Chain A
Amino acid sequence: MINFILRNIWQRIILLVFISIISHAVVHLAPGEPALVDPSNPRMKAEDVQRIRAAYHLDEPIHIQYIYWVRDLFTGELKSFKDNQPVMEKIWGKFLNSLPLFIVSMMIIWFLAFPVGIEAAINRDSKFDRTSTFISYALISFPGYFLAYLLIIFMVKTFNIPVIGMRTFGLEEAPLLLRSMDRVWHLTIPALMSAIAGVAVLSRYVRSQMLEVIHQDYMRTARAKGLPEDQVIYHHGLRNALLPFITMFGLMIPGLIGGSVIFETIFAWPGMGRLGFEAILARDFPVILTLNFFAAVLVLLGTLISDVLYAVADPRIKF
């Protein structure tokens, strides 16, 4: 077991090195440099550009730049090109902002998808099954921000609740209850929006997994024993259908960064997606690279955890 985990970690570290090399190459080989963001500024002379390039090691060959980046990343001295703030602190702050959004939308996804998927699988080809199939296809076909705009208008007009940003400006002095309610309201709509596609996909997946299980012999045995239908479905069926979802959990973690760019921009949520977007606009290479690296670490961590859990949960898997 320990061997299995160690081998997995070792493989992932090698992958991570290659990922960082590729992302470094992609970012640095693309045209457009931080020193050229503002070419029309008359005060920028050729010497200034040269000085900036030298200060950020941009005049070195690319592999030397890579080594500088890795060294700075691990000594914690990596600074943003834009405002000279330490990159790790910046990302950590935004990560803490993104986390509640991610957790709430994850909770919505998992708590909604399972009942819908199971219900659809039990009553296959029923009206409920057909409608939920169609609705989930419709939901993944919506251009995300179009739906978000419709939802914002609807919510603001009907319930008159705040949706933009993380908190209402000027409520810092308010009593704790009011402040936390305000935070919750601000969280609801963005979390719902980022959950919608996930619910649609996951409920389809739950349905097909349940359908595989539902005709197995042990289900018939359980019924023949005279067990109540609920126990048959949830104890004998669902437990066996749950196994593949351990992997799904690992695959959803990168959504923390990539999937949130659009929604964080719409809802002015100061999270990692927006940090990445602003870094891209400013050609802030250290931030872009570190975010990419961070995302890759998250993915690999997610798959590692799901591999280990899978091996723990399924005795048929050998190490």
Chain B
Amino acid sequence: MNEPIINFEADALTPSKGLFQERWDILKRNRRAYVSFWFLIVLFVLALLGKVFTQNIILFDPKIVRLSEKFLPPLTPFASTITPKEDAPLVGIYLLGTDELGRDVFARMVEGSFVSLTIGFVAVGIALTVGIFFGGLAGYYGRVKLAFITVDTLIMRFVDIMLCFPSFFLILTVVALLPPSIYNIMIVIGLTSWMGIARFVRAEFLSLRDQDFVLAARSQAIPEWRIIFIHMVPNAIAPVLVSATIGVATAILTESALSFLGFGVQPPDATWGNIMADGRTFLFDAPWLMFIPGFTILFVVLAFNLCGEGLREAFNPKLRSTP
């Protein structure tokens, strides 16, 4: 006998807004976060273009040294008779002045933005990988016993241990002892900042692992790594995303602090941090050498922080101020 399947009207209706759409609208309402978001997008594009134009198609070369042109203030037109014509900056103006070797600060800043952002993103990427891995293990296999302690205790004690180190001092120790290289800095910053993420992921996993969709997945004999990474991680990602956004900001600040102490990215690579650190010697003669990178870092870090705050609000309904 064929009974007609009753079609509820509500089933036919799609939700008026998708989850993503809803959160995007909340982010949009927070004007500061929305503006910072677009600011960051523009910055990424600029950094990518900068990478292309300083390395592949050389429009402005940050490495040209013009000793007769040093310490020119921003917006000085190129008027030297000594320096050859082909060493002139783009459109014949030093947009942001020149430094103590006559290098074009604008070209260096553009080159540095790619390096600085890479440091931020790679460091956070490492922190995310390690944090999600350990947090996921502790959350999912938390009840499994190894000899006399549970996996959860083991991992969380390790997190506690890592949290006991004064982080900047630890970073400084390792960076100073290792040979100076941009990769070491990224790795060290990443490996000393995953603990918060691991805690978030674990907390989310503890509430997720007994929910029905996980049980359903397990009943279908889906491999455990798939359950963890394909089914559970996307559900636990919201707080992680927020702390990752803020983590990029922190990594950029840490790099600039390391540069100040002389352990940052070494020349000839330019980053915002080391342009500023080199500029501080000439604070009174050429203030722009410190002010331009200083304010750039301020605005970019601020944009990351505000964006992170906006995301936090979008993901956490409790924090929304106006309905």
Q: Mark A260-297, 1 if CB is under 8 A from B, else 0.
A: 01100100000001001100110100001001100110
- For the complex, give the distance between the alpha carbons of A300 and B160 in Å: 10
Which positions 102-148 of chain A face chain B at CB distance < 8 Å? 124-125, 134, 137-138, 140-146
Write out the residue numbers on chain A whose beta carbons fall within 8 Å of the beta carbon of B302. Answer: 137-138, 141
Query: How many Å from the CB of B265 to the closest CB on chain A?
Result: 15
**CB of B322 closer than 8 Å to a CB of A:** yes
What residues of B have a CB within 8 angstroms of the CB of A299 in the complex?
Answer: 163-164, 166
CB-CB < 8 A to A26: which residues of B? 170, 173-174
Tally A residues with Cβ within 8 Å of B. 45
Can you list 30 contacts pairing A with B, beta carbon distance less than 8 Å?
A: A27-B173, A27-B177, A30-B173, A30-B174, A32-B178, A138-B298, A140-B305, A141-B249, A141-B253, A141-B301, A146-B276, A146-B297, A146-B298, A153-B283, A254-B166, A257-B169, A261-B169, A261-B172, A262-B257, A276-B169, A277-B172, A280-B176, A283-B177, A288-B173, A292-B165, A292-B166, A292-B169, A299-B164, A299-B166, A300-B164
- In addition to A280-B176, A296-B164, 9 A-B residue pairs with Cβ atoms within 8 Å of each other are A22-B161, A27-B173, A125-B321, A143-B294, A258-B166, A258-B168, A261-B169, A261-B172, A262-B257
Among candidates B165, B176, B177, B298, residue contacting A295 with C-beta atoms closer than 8 Å: B165
Chain A residues lying within 8 Å of B174, measured Cβ to Cβ, are: 26, 30
B297: chain A residues at CB < 8 Å are 141, 143, 146
Interface footprint category on B: 35 or more
Judged by DSSP, the binding face of B is: helix
CA distance A27 to B174 in the complex (A): 7
A143–B257 CB distance below 8 A:
yes
Given A15-B164, A137-B309, answer yes or no on A258-B169 (Cβ-Cβ < 8 Å): yes
Chain A CB within 8 A of B218 CB: no
How many inter-chain residue pairs (CB < 8 Å) link A and B? 120
> When the two chains form their complex, are residues B261 and A277 in contact, meaning their CB atoms are under 8 A apart?
yes
Contact A259 B168 (CB under 8 A): yes
Interface hits, B231-287 → A, CB 8 Å = 249, 253, 256-257, 260-261, 273, 276, 280, 283
Q: Is B290 among interface residues, defined by CB-CB distance under 8 A?
A: yes
A261 & B161 in contact (Cβ 8 Å cutoff): no
Which of B173, B273, B302, B305: most chain A CB closer than 10 A? B173
Q: Are B306 and A142 in contact (CB under 8 A)?
A: no
Taking CB atoms, residues of chain A closer than 8 Å to B226 are none
